[in-house]
């Protein structure tokens, strides 16, 4: 089984945090000793707000690794792209420090699920995009899409960016927001499914309905 999985999205607010928490919830239900982490968080202080949401979705309390910052070492107060927030807070992002923390988590858990910030090309600092990090370390990637208008364009661009930049995209999760237009949501899902089957059959497509807590999803088969 994998020891590290990275969850990114087609843009900000597409549901990465929710999907990350759900995958972790099902892994725990199956007896897998897992933990989530956040590559970098902006717009808060203290424990990363997305880590708090992960724990709520998992149905567990805040962990010691959260309290001591190990699950998200770079938390910036200004709500912006990480590279800008780091400048404003005068605290440079360092990927080597992140890797050290992830390796420590790996030594304590079977698998670490790391949620990114924004999309694939979100800049972490002046030299590195999120995509550069994923390409360098060859971490298996889950791409969260959505049912919003425009998601087909963003999803296909993200898929092809991964394929053209040596990024190990393994799964696309289609996140259907409850109040989005049903016709658009259904049509978008069908188009993305057809596109993957035709062009990238090795990439799995999972509908978020199959990940709900009541679904008893076997996420080991789906993601690992």
| Stated pTM of the model | 0.96
Among the listed residues 125, 134, 122, 131, the one whose alpha carbon sits nearest the alpha carbon of residue 11:
122
How big is the chain, counted in residues?
224
Task: Name the architecture of domain 4-223.
Answer: 3-Layer(aba) Sandwich (3.40)
| Rounded average pLDDT over 130-147 | 96
pLDDT band at residue 179 under the 50/70/90 scheme = confident
Angle ∠(171,176,181) on CA atoms, nearest 5: 140
| Rounded average pLDDT over 1-27 | 95
Q: Return the DSSP state at 62.
A: P
pLDDT on residue 50: 98
Over residues 180-201, the pLDDT tens digits come to 889 999 999 999 999 999 999 9
Cβ atoms of 71 and 63 within 8 Å: the answer is yes
Interatomic CA distance for residues 81 and 76, integer angstroms: 10
Domain range list for the chain:
4-223
Among the listed residues 159, 111, 160, 119, the one whose alpha carbon sits nearest the alpha carbon of residue 139:
111
The HSE-up count of residue 135 (CA atoms within 13 Å, CB side) is: 13
Token pair listed for 16: 């990465």
pLDDT on residue 132: 97
The residues annotated as belonging to the active site are 38
């Amino acid at each position: 089984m994998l020891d590290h999985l990275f969850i990114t999205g087609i843009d900000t607010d597409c549901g990465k945090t929710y999907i990350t928490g759900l995958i972790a919830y099902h892994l725990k239900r199956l007896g897998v000793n897992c933990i989530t982490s956040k590559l970098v968080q902006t717009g808060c202080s203290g424990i990363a707000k997305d880590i708090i949401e992960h724990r709520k979705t998992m149905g567990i309390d805040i962990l010691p690794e959260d309290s001591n910052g190990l699950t998200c070492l770079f938390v910036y107060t200004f709500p912006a792209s990480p590279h800008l927030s780091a400048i404003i807070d005068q605290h440079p992002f360092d990927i080597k420090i992140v890797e050290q923390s992830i390796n420590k988590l790996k030594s304590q858990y079977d698998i670490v699920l790391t949620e990114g910030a924004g999309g694939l090309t979100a800049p972490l600092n002046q030299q590195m995009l999120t995509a550069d990090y994923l390409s360098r370390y060859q971490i298996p990637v889950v791409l969260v899409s959505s049912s919003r208008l425009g998601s087909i364009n963003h999803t296909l661009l993200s898929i092809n960016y991964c394929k053209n930049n040596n990024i190990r995209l393994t799964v696309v999760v289609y996140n259907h927001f409850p109040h989005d237009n049903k016709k658009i949501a259904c049509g978008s899902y069908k188009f993305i499914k057809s596109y993957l089957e035709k062009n990238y059959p090795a990439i799995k497509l999972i509908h978020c309905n199959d990940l709900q807590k009541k679904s008893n999803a076997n996420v080991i088969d789906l993601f690992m």
